[in-house]
Amino acid sequence: MRYLALLGLTLLPSPALALTCALSFDITVTHGIGPYPPGTTLSGEAQFRTVRSFRQEGGATGHLATGSMTLDGNIAGRLWTLITTRRTQAADLVGVYAVDVEGLEFAGQEFTGPMAITLYGDPGSWRHDRPPITQDEWDSLDLRRVFILHASNSQDMLGGDVTRLDATCVDSDAPQD
């Protein structure tokens, strides 16, 4: 019985690194809609704090977070998770995902989410379960960098390439100077 109790403890999710980040980014629209034709540059920002991490299948780790993501000053959603993968056969990635998006409607379509930034790296390039912390770590995921915002009731989306991403992150649990 004691063995089963110890086994159960090892299966519980590990505590999250309490990471607090502020991201600012630019995207160049590649899949445009309405007021955002291809070639348009849009700026955005995201702020988040990770609260809990758990392993997922396929080498992924989910990082539940609180925060927000905003695009073009008026399209905004609740940031709720980051996903990190580290693999040897497929591209590694870090995804930053927002839901409950508001602020964009065109031709009767509401673009309510998800809204996401996904940064891809070469297989084996991301060696951590945690999200990136330093600017160099964010920059290392440079194989492909994309943004998407999906419409709620169709397959339409606003999409683009992330052309700039600046990150300021701190481990919230680390002693501060």
Question: What are the pLDDT digits (tens) for 2-27?
Answer: 333 333 333 334 444 689 999 999 99
Q: Which domain holds residue 37?
A: 14-171
Distance CA 107, CA 72 (A): 19
Tell me, yes or no, whether 29 lies in a domain.
Answer: yes
Structural domain count of the chain: 1
Tell me, yes or no, whether 2 lies in a domain.
Answer: no
Provide mean pLDDT across the span 86-113: 88
Tell me, yes or no, whether 133 lies in a domain.
Answer: yes
Per-residue pLDDT tens digits for 128-145:
889 999 999 999 999 999
Token match 């065109």: residue? 106
Distances (CA, A) of 36 to 32, 62, 158: 5, 31, 8
List the structure tokens of 177.
Answer: 């100077």
Tell me, yes or no, whether 49 lies in a domain.
Answer: yes
Q: Give residue 90's pLDDT band: very low, low, confident or very high (50, 70, 90).
A: confident
Tell me, yes or no, whether 129 lies in a domain.
Answer: yes
- The model carries a pTM of 0.85
Tell me, yes or no, whether 4 lies in a domain.
Answer: no
**Could you tell me if 117 and 46 are in contact, meaning their C-beta atoms sit under 8 angstroms apart?**
yes
Tell me, yes or no, whether 72 lies in a domain.
Answer: yes
Tell me, yes or no, whether 9 lies in a domain.
Answer: no
